[in-house]
């Protein structure tokens, strides 16, 4: 994808990441992918964002090329892991950009470690309401993990790559479908499936999302926050964006008309433009934990 993958070891586990432009004088962006995704989801926006930012895109544990240990796959554990990665790479404070499940991780990082977060960008984010696609809910059902080898056999991945290339060669471009196919194809590998199930069940049940940040969204007033959403998102409804926007004083809302669940893939030029403008026109709230403390006391 142009920006090489690197690896570091944290707590004995390999963590894969991509890091573009390590100029510490520039703002740093931390890009967090969604469930069953990887740092590759940012491949169309990282090079442009790196023109005026340091950009870090990790593979979360259990995803991509990072380790897939048996362990804690909760939002809190992911937030702590990102804190440790930032410390290992000595990157300081960051603007956090989280897509889908990565949005839930981004909010958790801001909640647990506000002293590390300059700004918050939520892209088709989880954790803002109960509603979510029926397929993800179905995969939380008891025994679903035993059906996954049948639902996602190895030839599924190979056949998908062939079809995707054929469509591309014929001028058919559907980046959101390609990204979803890539995510589901990763589940053809047993260790990926195990990590996926643990991650999924940490935030969903058959009725929908079980982790909901809406009762704490007022805390996001302590830092600049932007919501980016496709108005035809089939995974997490755009209504979540409007509700969160109303609940976060001073937040910015960017709706991509005709867009789906992956605005950064479907319209990368606009995505880069709105993120760049958001960073350029906002200032991090100083004093770290102080604004959060004041909001909690006043609640």
**Are 28 and 94 spatial neighbours (Cβ–Cβ below 8 Å)?**
yes
How far is residue 5 CA from its own chain's centroid?
18
**Are 157 and 184 spatial neighbours (Cβ–Cβ below 8 Å)?**
no
**Rounded to 5, what percent of the chain is helix, strand, coil?**
45, 15, 35
- Is 233 a catalytic site residue? yes
Catalytic annotation, pick one of 176, 245, 261, 264: 261
- Residue 126's nearest CA partner among 41, 244, 40, 232 is 244
- Strands 204-205 and 252-256, by their bridges, are unpaired
Q: Residues with Cβ < 8 Å from 111, sequence gap 6 or more?
A: 79, 213, 216, 219
**83 - beta bridge partners?**
none
Catalytic annotation, pick one of 118, 233, 240, 264: 233
Catalytic annotation, pick one of 16, 38, 66, 100: 100
Maximal CA-CA distance, the chain: 59
- Is 264 a catalytic site residue? no
- Is 261 a catalytic site residue? yes
Given phi > 0 = left and psi -120 to 50 = alpha, else beta, which region is 233?
A: beta
197 phi/psi in degrees, rounded to 5: -65, -45
Report helix, strand or coil for 296: helix
* Catalytic residue numbers, as ranges: 100, 233, 261
């Amino acid at each position: 994808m142009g920006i090489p993958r690197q690896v570091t070891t944290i707590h004995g586990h390999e963590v894969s990441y991509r890091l573009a432009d390590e100029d510490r004088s520039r703002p740093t962006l931390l890009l967090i992918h969604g469930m069953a995704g990887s740092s590759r989801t940012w491949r169309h926006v990282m090079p442009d964002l790196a023109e005026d930012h340091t950009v870090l895109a990790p593979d979360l544990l259990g995803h991509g090329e990072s380790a897939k240990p048996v362990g804690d796959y909760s939002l809190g554990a992911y937030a702590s892991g990102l804190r440790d990665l930032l410390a290992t790479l000595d990157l300081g404070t960051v603007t956090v950009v989280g897509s889908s499940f990565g949005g839930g991780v981004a909010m958790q990082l801001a909640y647990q470690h506000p002293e590390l977060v300059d700004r918050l960008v939520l892209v088709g984010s989880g954790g803002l309401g109960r509603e979510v696609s029926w397929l993800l809910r179905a995969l939380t059902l008891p025994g679903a993990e035993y059906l996954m080898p049948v639902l996602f056999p190895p030839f599924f991945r190979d056949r998908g790559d062939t079809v995707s290339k054929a469509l591309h060669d014929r001028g058919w471009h559907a980046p959101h479908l390609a990204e979803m196919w890539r995510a589901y194809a990763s589940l053809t590998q047993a260790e990926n499936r195990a990590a996926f199930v643990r991650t999924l069940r940490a935030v969903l049940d058959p009725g929908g999302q079980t982790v909901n940040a809406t009762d704490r969204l007022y805390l996001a007033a302590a830092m600049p926050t932007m919501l980016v959403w496709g108005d035809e998102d089939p995974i997490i409804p755009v209504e979540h964006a409007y509700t969160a926007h109303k609940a976060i004083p001073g937040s910015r809302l960017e709706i991509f008309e005709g867009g789906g669940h992956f605005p950064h893939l479907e319209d990368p030029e606009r995505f880069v433009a709105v993120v760049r403008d958001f960073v350029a026109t906002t200032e991090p709230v100083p004093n770290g934990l102080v604004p959060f403390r004041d909001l909690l006391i006043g609640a």
